[in-house]
Amino acid sequence: MKKLFILFISLVAMLTVKAQWVDNPATNTFIANSSADAGEVYLSTDEVSGDTYLQFNQMRSNGWVPTLQRLTFEGIPQWGDDGITITSQTCSTWTQGVAMVATNDGGVVSCFSNEAGHCIAVRINADGTFPWGEQGIVLFGGQGGSRTELLAGNDGGVWALGADYDNTYLCYINADGTLNPTITISDDNGKQCMFGLMVPGLYNSVFVVYEKESWAYTYYYEKELFVVGFTPEGVQIAPEAQLMSPYTMGGSYAHYVVPDGANGGYAYMWHAGIGGAFNTYVFHFDEVGNSTISDLNGISVHPTDPSNYYLDAYATSDPVSHDLIIVYEQTDAATQSQSSVYMNRITPTGEKLWGDGINVAGNVGVNYSDLFVDAFEDGSGFMVSYTVNMSGLSSVFAIGYDMQGDQLWAKNISIGTYNRTMCDNSTGFHLGQNIVAWVNGSNGNVYGQNIGPDGTMGPIEPIIPVEPCLAPENLEGEYVYDMETQEYGVQITWTAPESQPLHYNLYRHGIINKEDAVIEVPGDATSYFDESGLGEYKYQLTAVYEDCESEFALTPDGENYIDIVVTGIGEASENEMVTITRIFTMNGQCLKHNNTEKLSNGVYIIQGLTEDGKLVSHKVVVNK
Distances 52 to 46, 416, 448, 451 between C-alpha atoms, Å: 6, 24, 11, 14
Measured CA to CA, the distance from residue 534 to residue 488 in angstroms comes to: 9
Parts of the chain with a pLDDT under 50: 1-18, 571-574
Whether the Cβ atoms of residue 583 and residue 607 lie closer than 8 Å to each other: yes
Structure confidence at residue 611 (pLDDT): 75
Please give the Cα distance from 278 to 271 (Å, whole number).
5
Residues 269/225, Cβ–Cβ less than 8 Å: yes
Q: For residue 442, what pLDDT is reported?
A: 85
Q: Round to whole Å and give the CA distance between 140 and 266.
A: 27
pLDDT attached to residue 155: 92
Helices assigned H by DSSP within 486-532: none
Three-state SS letters, 244-307? EEEEEEECCCCCEEEECCCCCEEEEEEECCCCCCCEEEEEEECCCCCECCCCCCCEECCCCCCC
Residue-level pLDDT at 185: 96
Domains and CATH numbers, the chain: 473-622 (2.60.40.10)
Contact 384, 341 (CB under 8 A): yes
Report pLDDT for 41: 94
Distance between CA atoms of residues 459 and 451, nearest Å:
9
Q: Which residues contact 12 (CB under 8 A, 6 or more apart)?
A: none
Q: What is the pLDDT of residue 239?
A: 87
pLDDT at residue 81, rounded to an integer: 94
pTM (two decimals):
0.76
- Predicted pLDDT of residue 4: 34
**Amino acid occupying residue 361:** A
Residues linked to residue 345 through DSSP beta bridges, in sequence order: 325
